[in-house]
Amino acid sequence: MVDNEPRAGIVGRSVWSGSVVHYTGEFWIALPAAEFWQVIEDFEQYQEWWPWLDGFSSDQPGLVAGNVLQATVVPPVPYRVRLSVRFESCERPSLAVATISGDLRGRASLSFDERRGGTRVRADWTLDAATTTMRIAAKVARPLMRWGHDRVVEMAVAGIQRRVQP
């Protein structure tokens, strides 16, 4: 039997078309889904896990429908991305769906499936550049934008894995 599910790292892909990025990916966390859900609800730890996240705030505690998270993402490239994440639905401990606005706009989801004593996390989002600056950057510097996007995803996963891995 071949086990092709990720144990560490990310299996993912970003596809760019004009100013739109569609990302699908997955990674594995060494915690059951209910415990992992509790970990990612600890918003006070986000800037410790992810030092590239600036000015993080939330309307209320927890992953609950209606909650809005605000932050600026500072990727390892010369631009900052202001985001607002509004949770549209949250089904503990299996699914969170959000609408994104700010410098980017679109929809995102994270789903959580118990696998091998841990959790397989699946991420999916489609985001469009919402500002003139971001649209121009997506047009003239797409390789840099793709690289920055993919590094932020890698840094996000590495930060959370450091927090939960034994």
Catalogue all structural domains in the chain, each as residue range(s) with its CATH number: 11-160 (3.30.530.20)
Give the CA angle between residues 136, 156, 127 to the nearest 5°: 35
Query: Quick one: pLDDT at residue 7?
Result: 47
Q: Are 51 and 162 in contact (CB under 8 A)?
A: no
Residues in Cβ contact with 132 at an 8 Å cutoff, skipping those fewer than 6 apart: none
Burial pattern 125-136, b for ≥16 Cβ within 10 A else e, equals bbbbbbeeebee
8 to 21, 131, 162: CA distances (angstroms): 24, 35, 11
Q: Are 137 and 149 in contact (CB under 8 A)?
A: no
Query: Quick one: pLDDT at residue 64?
Result: 97
Query: Quick one: pLDDT at residue 5?
Result: 45
Query: Quick one: pLDDT at residue 122?
Result: 97
Spans of the chain, pLDDT less than 70: 1-9, 166
